[in-house]
Chains A and B, each alone.
Chain A
Amino acid sequence: MIDRAIIGFRTKPFAAEVEKGRLRLFAKAIGETDPIYFDEAAARAAGFRSLPVPLTFLFCLEMERPDPYDWFDQLGIPLGRALHGEQSFEYHNGTCAGDVLTFESEIIDIYDKRGGALEFLVQENHITDQRGDRVAKFTRTLVIRHD
């Protein structure tokens, strides 16, 4: 069982710059074909400041931390036993290449099902941009298998 005392555990705030090359690589990896994700001129023509950050990429940027799984070790969660259970995003403002985004995460809940065979860990990430504006929030639920 994961110690419930870690509810409220926060990772150190982490800032990451949104890089054009990285966005293009990501767009390619998901099979994207829309030119706004590759070509700045197309992005501008579509009303974006630069290449837009794809809907799910904020999750990836949070993993830019030097060791994105360090808190698994700190909390004693075996990585190979963790599955992604749920993921949600709330978007307040669009983000684009060139933005510097700061991520602050907190474990907000832990619960179990099937008599403890499955544990669920819910982590919230608040994202602000270089102006300090809240741009998005995402919530990740991990499932830890104890079977």
Chain B
Amino acid sequence: MTSEVIGRSAARRVWQVLLQVGIVPLALLFLFPFFWMLSNALRSDAEVFASPPRLLPHVFLWGNFVQAWRYLPFGRFFFNSFVVATAITAIVLVVSSLAGYAFARIRFRGRGSLFVVYLATLMVPQSVIVIPLFLMMSWLGWVNTYQALIIPMAFSSFGTFLLRQFFLGIPPELEEAAMLEGASRLRILLSIFLPLSTSALGLLAQFTFIAQWNSFLWPLIVVQGPEHATIPLGLTLFQGQQGTQWNYMMAGAAISMVPGLLLTGLLHRYIFKGIAIGSGFGGR
């Protein structure tokens, strides 16, 4: 019995080491496209398709990052993406907190069915509504403006759903005490619920920001020219009439990752905690 257990645990230890060692090459392989992106960002245009390709550039052209920034108004794209993603994130946080609270705590007739409608809108893909949305923007005269990039994208019910789930887990006793003291609903939301929900809010902020930072279809349709172009749109602008600038494009792609990485560095402790909340979907 004991020797069997020891044998088993020895086998388990070997297995454990194998798992630990095996994941390293896998992770390296997984990272290859990033390596390739950087390696191509740093080489000359002619070297990108030289055959046979070299793993590393012949000469490291660090200046490509500056060139990419100059070749197209990449600073402008960066600024646009930042403005749009930040504005949408801010609106989503406010709107979803209010609605999430209403669904979690305020009882009113039709709440259940209204919530089902909210959930159902999660199924509506963007590509199904972009044509009427574009026409709407045309009529409003909003084509090629910031408001067109921001407003129509700021009302996903995902945030409402996520925050509702989180708010439901907050002990009602806290709220009842405040109510007895005559605090208003808004006051309760602001001073009790939101401070207790930083992880959910952080998660929502981060996911909204990244999703909007990476968003492509809507800017592609509602923007023309670099003035209001966002980063993903800007990346495709490298495929201009004068030939695709792969090296600059890769430099641009590398630059485009920076804000997401920074944000995750700032908020990473929220992600993991918060993400389990989402898994309650459909569990009502």
| Chains A and B belong together in one complex | no
Contacts from B to A (Cβ < 8 Å): none
